[in-house]
Structure 1
């Protein structure tokens, strides 16, 4: 049994946001698709750093899917003022995209996670493991695979429960629309943990192109990231790889199965799908 309100999807053109939007629409729910481009019939312009866009986005909605600003090391600075305004405007359910690597009260979006239960009567925090989509499209790993046949990390032999963004979106749809919100943080993983060496081997087997995992030091990865993004954020990302090396992501959960009724997709199935899609 599900309820039907109007949902604001922030980041509606992004990796999970567009899938959440599609999932809600497929079930007949009303959606406002918030993005900076505001493209499409249901689109509304939304920018975390332009509070003048918040009012129209919040008008008439009672729930929201929240994707923090990309690349920000301090998302709470904009999310918390927005969420207080959203509560005053009548929002009663919020589903926040966070990360399995960041607990409530932790850095970055962890500060928003900590505040969320006190702001809304119905809430959930999605804490997915690392996305399978990191190996496709314009993501850094995908670029290095295409350019050099290599995945570069500081994760060593650490294992990760890589999860498909489609499974994250499916859980988000349930958290947004089911009669009872989970009112908890949900760690999402795929069905198994894999090292980056095993990821490279799987991609090689499926695509027929040799892909290797190159082991970098924390400092090498930090400096590589810092060439593209602010040093503070680059340091945080490299630190997440170091945590993987120490075993922080070596776990699987039943969250996808429990909330959606189906098992999470495998990395092999993801790579096969991407290969078929892109020829």
Structure 2
């Protein structure tokens, strides 16, 4: 498939990786961001909440990578009208970043998933598990609590998650955007093994060379903890509820989608942790 690609959320965790991989292939890429850098000719202004930015960003685009607006508990109200606008502008292929915790038709991004399947001629929905990058991205609750208090706080209990590297998600996205045959499917994307947060704490302890513990808290307390970071309260409690579902086994599963689609195995957490050991240096 040859076309110009619009990457919404183009400076974010997966978006920048997708944009870089496409550019490395010699394709034409527009990186959508609310604040384009004046010296980056690939960046274009794109704001989900500002429809006047949509038309210019979509000019000559044939495919779009859709990253939902961060922290919005009702992204469908912005994304579905954009999808319709993009189809009217001639876009044929869409790849949506969703979540393993969200099924088609669920409130929010699940509604976008359903609209995409019903309206788009060529589409894919990526449903990744929790990102490994949550443990190293500055400002994220987990990395900050590791640095400041030698702990990871969750409401997951003994539940397990097949954490996935954002690089693997991006690799699947690039295939979904560029493969000659459209995927027209939803892909569950996981790492190679399901791990509890106790397991994560042990691995981080080993590479950081100090003891890191997992401290379980109640769902209500975790929601309050998230909201205290400045996260919108409704969104914080939605994320806390996801932790409760993890505690009851919702993410205890592994899928071979990464290897099936890209031809290489998904990255394991031990390898990821070894490569990021310096990220967990004390902040105190």
- TM-score between the two structures when normalised by the length of structure 2: 0.95
Alignment pair present for 1:71 and 2:71: yes
| Aligned equivalent of 1:226 | 227
SS of 1:62's equivalent?
strand
| Aligned equivalent of 2:237 | 235
Alignment pair present for 1:203 and 2:208: no
Mapped partners of 1:38, 1:54: distance in 2: 14
Asked whether the 8 Å contact 2:136–2:280 carries over to 1, the reply is: no
SS of 1:71's equivalent?
coil
| Aligned equivalent of 2:273 | 271
Query: Deviation per CA, 1:31-59, whole angstroms, max 9, x where unpaired?
Result: 01110121212110100011111011000
Alignment pair present for 1:8 and 2:6: yes
| Aligned equivalent of 1:140 | 141
| Aligned equivalent of 1:128 | 128
Mapping of residues 74-153 of structure 1, within 5 Å: 74-138=74-138, 139-153=140-154
SS of 2:125's equivalent?
strand
Show structure 1 runs of 4+ deviating over 2 A: 275-279
| Aligned equivalent of 2:253 | 251
Shift of 1:207: 1.5
Query: Deviation per CA, 1:176-225, whole angstroms, max 9, x where unpaired?
Result: 00001211110000000000000000000112121110001011101111
Mapped partners of 1:20, 1:278: distance in 2: 26
5+ residue gaps, structure 1 = none
SS of 1:86's equivalent?
helix
The worse-fitting range, judged by mean Cα deviation, of 90-99 and 138-147 is 138-147
Alignment RMSD: 1.2
Q: Number of aligned pairs? A: 277
| Aligned equivalent of 1:48 | 48
SS of 1:113's equivalent?
helix
Query: Deviation per CA, 1:2-39, whole angstroms, max 9, x where unpaired?
Result: x2211100011100000000111112211011101212
- TM-score between the two structures when normalised by the length of structure 1: 0.97
5+ residue gaps, structure 2 = none
Asked whether the 8 Å contact 2:76–2:108 carries over to 1, the reply is: yes
SS of 1:265's equivalent?
coil
Shift of 1:137: 2.3
Mapped partners of 1:30, 1:230: distance in 2: 36
Which residue of the other structure, out of 19, 26, 31, is the alignment partner of 2:17? 19
